[in-house]
Amino acid sequence: MDQLRTQSKEQAFEIEKLRLHNRALEHQLTIYQEQIALLTRQSGTIVQKMVLPVALALPEAVKQDSSSVAKLVPPLIKIGIVDEKA
């Protein structure tokens, strides 16, 4: 009986740790969402400065390693950073 109580207490403690960790992750997610919203609202020049170096490097990078870099192209086309015909 004592062993069951001990196991129950240990499980309750583990559950509480997981709940606390979950709350911390939710808080971090909220911070990331707010940062994304802020960047989205800011002027296109700032966002362009952040993404443009990646977009400019794509043609050369695709020549070197098309398998991994090509995965980046559709998202950049979708947001209008890379010309689809390039």
Supply 62's token pair: 């695709």
- What does pTM read for this prediction? 0.43
Supply 5's token pair: 């109580």
Spans of the chain below 50 pLDDT: 69, 76-84, 86
- Give one DSSP letter per residue of the chain, joined into a string: -HHHHHHHHHHHHHHHHHHHHHHHHHHHHHHHHHHHHHHHHS-HHHHHHHHHHHHHHHHHHHHH-HHHHGGGHHHHHHTTSS-TT-
The answer to whether residues 30 and 56 belong to one domain is no
The answer to whether residues 60 and 34 belong to one domain is no
Structural domain total, the chain: 2
The answer to whether residues 49 and 30 belong to one domain is no
The answer to whether residues 54 and 69 belong to one domain is yes
Reported as a single tens digit per residue, the pLDDT across 28-43 is 888 888 887 777 776 5
